[in-house]
Amino acid sequence: MTSDEKLAQLDELFGSYKAEWLNEKIFHFFAAPSYFTSLKDKRPCVLMGGRGTGKTTVLRGLSYMGQYALNNDDIDRFDLNSYIGIYFRCDTNHVHAFSGKGIDNGTWMKIFAHYFNLIFTSEILEFIDWHKKLKSDDEVLSKHACSLIATSLHLGDVSDYKELIHVLETAMYKFQADINNISDGNMPQLSLAGDPVKIVTEQARKLRQFSGKIFYLLIDEYENLLDSQQQIVNTLLKHVPQSYTIKIGVREMGWRVKHTMNPQESVIDPADYVLFNIVDEFTDETPDKFESFARDVCQLRIKDLLEEDGVEFDIEQALVNLPYEDEAIKLGVEQTCQYKNILEFEKESGLDLGVSSLYKFFISYWSENHNSMLKDTIEDYFKNRKRWNTRYENYKYSLLFKIRTGRGSGGIQKYYAGWSTFVKLANGNIRYLMELVYRSYYIYLQEGGDITKPVSADVQTKAARNVGWKNLTELEGTWSNGAQLTRMVQTLGTIFSKLAKDGENSAPEIVQFEIEGERSARTEELLQAGIMNLALVRMPANKQSGRGSVKEFMYSLHPIFAPYFIYSFRRKRKMGLSDAEFLLCVDNPNNAVRDILSKRNVKIDKEETNMYQLSFDFWD
């Protein structure tokens, strides 16, 4: 296979980050996450996670088409399942049509409930027909059953299920046409929320082939529903019958309304549903779950790329990791004045510290930043080696950001390489991890690399910076005020970068922030939009807080941006920002960077300001 052919195949295998782009290939590449089995039980559940965390893939994997494909298109194996998944994606263009036009909200809610009934009744009947085409001896819905379903939807008299499917399809198109012209008085006849779905699932379960099975209504992109529409589905979720249950996929902060059509009645976890927060599932107590899942996803694709070469592949060995001491050498630690000062001391004193180059840099750097004589610092090192070793372990990662600093420092200033590093940058987001792997191999192949050999740390770092930049530039299109999110990320990224390079030595790796004091409504809106659109990650302010009020959280930029701005992706220390300072990051980035850094004794001079202006193009 030529290099161009490999690039083309790589693009086909990894370029389709979104499940929606993969079509039928989604099931060929399907890798079940650790929580997939738990999702299969009969309880209503909510799958929560940002875009790219795999919600769509999982829900489609639960659908009947997904289960059929995952059972190798074997209908007998498919029939061993105790459930039948019916998938529906909430299309913004459709669901947002149910508003305005001079119609009050209460009426729109009834109209949307009818639309929900039409959609799922149609999909369930389509499934029954699909199954009969594969098993010709299937029982069919009786005339009485078809009449009940048709009556509940105001479809008139039907003679059999074939006619019911035809009449329902026609009714769907007429309904959509009526909605577009509803201000002209084209009010459709409406059904009771959930009632036709209950009838069709109950009648389907009476058929021999579906006896004892339960239908799963799989509702994806729940955040696209209007608040009143979420109320309707919440009501169905709270009061599911025996014949069906509901499983929802939604972005974090996208489930805005937690009550039913009765404002006094809330849906509560775990009484009414089970919550699966994907990032928590993958990154909190058992981070190895995501790594294992991600390895399966990537290796399934690389296997296709290497099939012709017949080469064994291990993603961890292919993406070379770089130990801290080796990275320091590549960054030029032995050319720094701090390192040379130690060498000079060793030469004059005849002493050999017997430590790595990075450790020597650390001792000299510590001496400078604590205003002590190098001789005294080294003497303290020899007296208290155990304490110094602990100190070095705590600080050595943050030291890597301080080796290549100052204006004119070209090239790579910090490496982001290795499978484990990519996993942490992705932070439970499978799409981000696939982007990192894809971009690494794309650059590697473009530069003539041998795909059977490891990808260098230099290439991986270029790829990581590229992915960070790409996702930064895409923020503007993710929200109505996306330009504000972009400025916020740029400002905070610049601050964290400057702190990583020039911040005080006593508090390295400041990469998180919390809003101190009262918050404005605008700040709350920006934080919520940042979380929903993966500009921000939130976590409890302390281990006892749990997932309570939003004010109990602290925040960081999503780790995917760390390689672009050059700061630590690790969760370490935080800084406090007032409401005014946070909003200044959006409204006047130049002043925000200067003011926030000056409070932490870090200065940016005019020439350096110009340098950032060229890099990020957002300064005033």
Q: What is the pLDDT of residues 264-317, one digit of tens each?
A: 999 998 889 988 887 776 665 555 777 888 888 787 777 766 655 556 778 888
| Whole-number Cα distances in Å, 270 to 136, 234, 466, 492 | 41, 14, 41, 37
Which ranges of the chain have pLDDT less than 70? 1, 3, 13, 15-32, 34, 183-185, 281-287, 304-311, 406-410, 504-507, 542-551, 605-620
B/e letters for 121-136, b = 16+ CB within 10 Å, e = fewer, are bbbbbebbeebbeeee
Parallel, antiparallel, or unpaired: how do β-strands 274-277 and 45-48 relate?
parallel
Distance CA 460, CA 423 (A): 13
Backbone torsions φ then ψ of 585, nearest 5 degrees? -60, -25
- Three-state DSSP class for 323? coil
Cβ atoms within 10 Å, residue 139: 13
Residues 549 and 502 both lie in one domain: yes
Residues 494 and 548 both lie in one domain: yes
In a domain, 462, yes or no: no
- Tokens representing 106? 């209460």
Instruction: Name the domain boundary from 266, 285, 304.
Output: 285
Residue 241's Cβ-side half-sphere holds a number of Cα atoms within 13 Å equal to: 15
589 cis-preceded (ω within 30 degrees of 0): no
pLDDT score, position 98? 86
Residues in the chain: 620
Residues 166 and 271 both lie in one domain: yes
Residues 335 and 276 both lie in one domain: no
- Tokens representing 606? 């005019």
pTM of the model as a whole: 0.78
Q: Is 542 exposed, middle or buried (0-12, 13-18, 19+ CB in 10 A)?
A: exposed
Cβ atoms within 10 Å, residue 313: 15
In a domain, 471, yes or no: no
Which residue's structure tokens are 């991890």?
A: 433
What torsion do the CA atoms of 69, 72, 76, 80 make, to the nearest 10 degrees? -70
Residues 167 and 254 both lie in one domain: yes
pLDDT score, position 22? 45
Residues 362 and 269 both lie in one domain: no
CA-nearest of 21, 479, 422, 561 to 253 is 479
Within the chain, what is the greatest distance between any pair of CA atoms? 103
Q: Which residues, 6 or more positions from 409, have their beta carbon under 8 angstroms from its beta carbon?
A: none
Cβ atoms within 10 Å, residue 491: 25
pLDDT score, position 556? 94
Parallel, antiparallel, or unpaired: how do β-strands 536-540 and 553-557 relate?
antiparallel
In a domain, 190, yes or no: yes
Our count of domains for the chain comes to: 3
In a domain, 294, yes or no: no
Residues 200 and 279 both lie in one domain: yes
Answer yes or no: are the C-beta atoms of 556 and 530 closer than 8 Å. no
Answer yes or no: are the C-beta atoms of 65 and 146 closer than 8 Å. no
Q: Which residues, 6 or more positions from 366, have their beta carbon under 8 angstroms from its beta carbon?
A: 377, 391, 505
Residues 67 and 181 both lie in one domain: yes
Instruction: Name the domain boundary from 233, 259, 285.
Output: 285
Instruction: Name the domain boundary from 402, 417, 441.
Output: 402
In a domain, 30, yes or no: no
Residues 506 and 581 both lie in one domain: yes
Q: Which residues, 6 or more positions from 475, have their beta carbon under 8 angstroms from its beta carbon?
A: 482, 485, 486, 489, 533, 535
In a domain, 416, yes or no: no
- Three-state DSSP class for 151? helix
- Tokens representing 399? 């030291």
In a domain, 197, yes or no: yes
In a domain, 391, yes or no: yes
Distance CA 170, CA 157 (A): 14
Quote the domain boundaries for residue 482. 478-616
Q: Which residues, 6 or more positions from 157, have their beta carbon under 8 angstroms from its beta carbon?
A: 147, 150
Residues 198 and 76 both lie in one domain: yes
pLDDT score, position 277? 83
Residues 359 and 268 both lie in one domain: no
Residues 393 and 482 both lie in one domain: no
Beta strands in 306-456 (DSSP E): none
